[in-house]
Amino acid sequence: MVVTMFRRGFLMLDPLRRLAGQQGALLLFLLTLVVHAAQPASGAENGAHEDPSKLDFYLITVDVGNNVWDNFGHSALRVVDGLAGTDTIYNWGVFEVRDGPVAFAYDFFVDELEYRLATQNTRREIDNYRAQRRSVWQDELRLSAAQKQRLLARLNWNRAPENWYYDYDYFFDNCTTRIRDYLNETLDGAISAHVAKVAGTTFREQVRSHYASLQPISFSLDVIMNSNLDREMSGWESLFLPLNLRASLAELKGVNPQDGLEASFFGRREMLLNYEAPAPQRDFYRSASLTALCLTLYFLLMLRRIRRSYFATHSQLGFRAMSVNFRLFGGLSFVLFGVSGVYGTLMLGSWFFSGHEDLHHNANLLLFWPTDLLGAVIALRWLFLAQPWYLTNNNKPFTVYYFFAKFCAVILYCFATAFGFFEQDTLQIALFIAPWLFALGLLSWLVGFDAARGSDSIL
């Protein structure tokens, strides 16, 4: 009887026992998940490389090109992953022309142009430089396992779409400075410590040097860029140039991955492509000055005095072979007044509308005026009609005061340059450009205008 009651009680407890066993198993499973989540993530899960010895980094340096946007050269990083079988170029020099070249020029002018990181297969990237006929150097970077992991983590962060774009600046944030900053971070500040001295050269000198093969562009940048370019660069700032970065890194010390001993930061070095660099053109200042001097002497020799009567409408001075020489003078004046007006408009407009502070407060505004575009309009009459511009009582005072102010501005510009009143380097413009701008203005004043009545002589 007792045995029977015991068996019945045990059978009644059996479902409860089974339920407790299931709950225990579920509890054990959940506990396992918690413990697993609390453990450090593996290399694959946190973005680290499983075997850094299979990971190689190379600095890619590209020589200057023939275009305005590549005359400083270019830098990129090459990452070869032997474990994943990938060979990738990281290029921070990519920009997009979304709405055409006019919109692109405007975005660049107001400093709203965005560059971005792009990655591409190394073979295709090198083929692009081969098509451009630009020399390419490749230098292996000797990094420890920990440094490779750190640099890879930074690159992986930059590859995220939300981190692609950056605000480009030609001196302080470009394709080369991005690599400089990432490598300096990887090396715990070794690069900035290595170049902690003054570079001994100015930004303007570097601009002139790198645009020696495009002299009109070099001259234009010399005109429209202000005194910010005339301070000495620090060693760190000088690394915005690809060849400077390569030369500085070649002097650093790194770790030999084979024996762990200190060695040169660069391992294997090789030239992937070898082409002749663009040849420097003749110095624009001297060429332009010599040309202007010859033309000025020619026009002076062609001057002749014209007799006036009371009702004459001819100027007191004119040219021999009037039809030909007046048109030649008009064509030259149209170009020079037009260029001066464009420079003045760019400098004045950028002061108010551009984010490029290197284009603000420019001393050359004393020489190049936006209103010189009016002179280009007047020169069209000289070019097409071979006749002077007739002055009336309404426009004569404006013309007289304008030319007087222009002459005074040129004299003041040369005086301020000679006595060092400008922080901006204006010496070459004062020596080679200002004198013949003064001569052109004087010839325009003497020959290009005529009073409507004989009694209104402007001489």
Structure tokens that stand for 144 in this block:
């420890």
Please indicate whether residue 307 or residue 291 has the higher confidence score (pLDDT).
291
Mean pLDDT of 404-429: 96
Do 161 and 60 meet the contact criterion of CB atoms below 8 Å apart?
no
**Model-wide pTM > 0.85:** no
What confidence score (pLDDT) does residue 116 get?
93
How confident is residue 70, by pLDDT bands cut at 50, 70 and 90?
A: confident
Do 436 and 296 meet the contact criterion of CB atoms below 8 Å apart?
yes
Do 311 and 450 meet the contact criterion of CB atoms below 8 Å apart?
no
Residue 64 reports pLDDT greater than 70: yes
Residue 262 forms beta bridges with which residues? 255
Nearest one of 173, 187, 44 to 116, comparing CA atoms: 173
Q: Which residue has the tokens 């591409």?
A: 120
* Average predicted confidence (pLDDT) for the chain: 84
The region of weakest confidence among 34-38, 315-319, 418-422 is 34-38
What confidence score (pLDDT) does residue 276 get?
93
How far from 426 is each of 100, 259, 309, 358, 363, CA to CA, in Å?
A: 35, 55, 46, 15, 8
Please indicate whether residue 282 or residue 259 has the higher confidence score (pLDDT).
282
Please indicate whether residue 258 or residue 101 has the higher confidence score (pLDDT).
258
Give the model confidence (pLDDT) of 11-33 as tens digits. 344 443 444 444 444 444 443 43
Structure tokens that stand for 143 in this block:
């990094």
C-alpha angle 94/112/155, rounded to 5°?
40
Residue 308 reports pLDDT greater than 80: no
Cα dihedral sign for 303, 305, 306, 310?
A: positive
What confidence score (pLDDT) does residue 263 get?
84
What confidence score (pLDDT) does residue 392 get?
86
What confidence score (pLDDT) does residue 136 get?
97
Residue 165 forms beta bridges with which residues? 116
Burial environment of residue 381 by CB neighbours within 10 A (0 to 12, 13 to 18, 19 or more):
middle
What confidence score (pLDDT) does residue 103 get?
67
> How many CA atoms lie less than 13 Å away from 260 in the CB half-sphere?
2
Cα dihedral sign for 121, 125, 127, 128?
A: positive
CA-to-CA distance for 119 and 116, rounded, in angstroms? 10
Mean pLDDT of 68-96: 92
Residue boundaries of the structural domains of the chain: 56-197+235-273, 284-456
Give the model confidence (pLDDT) of 340-350 as tens digits. 999 999 999 98
What confidence score (pLDDT) does residue 74 get?
95
What confidence score (pLDDT) does residue 44 get?
39
Structure tokens that stand for 258 in this block:
């084979």
Give the model confidence (pLDDT) of 95-142 as tens digits. 876 666 566 667 767 766 778 999 999 999 999 999 999 999 999 999
Following DSSP, what letter does each residue of 374-391 receive, concatenated?
HHHHHHHHHHHH--PEEE
Residue 319 forms beta bridges with which residues? 303
Q: How far out from the chain centre does Cα 417 lie?
A: 27
Do 180 and 141 meet the contact criterion of CB atoms below 8 Å apart?
no
What confidence score (pLDDT) does residue 190 get?
94
What confidence score (pLDDT) does residue 193 get?
93
CA-to-CA distance for 454 and 393, rounded, in angstroms? 13
Mean pLDDT of 390-411: 92
CA-to-CA distance for 266 and 254, rounded, in angstroms? 8
What confidence score (pLDDT) does residue 256 get?
72
Q: Mention every residue, 6+ apart, whose C-beta is less than 8 A from residue 245.
A: 59, 61, 75, 176, 179, 180, 239
The region of weakest confidence among 67-71, 365-369, 438-442 is 67-71
Structure tokens that stand for 399 in this block:
């013309």
How confident is residue 38, by pLDDT bands cut at 50, 70 and 90?
A: very low
Strands 266-273 and 317-319: unpaired
Three-state secondary structure call for residue 318 = strand
Do 440 and 333 meet the contact criterion of CB atoms below 8 Å apart?
yes
Q: Mention every residue, 6+ apart, whose C-beta is less than 8 A from residue 208.
A: 218, 222
Mean pLDDT of 145-172: 93
Structure tokens that stand for 166 in this block:
């950056």
Residue 219 reports pLDDT greater than 70: yes
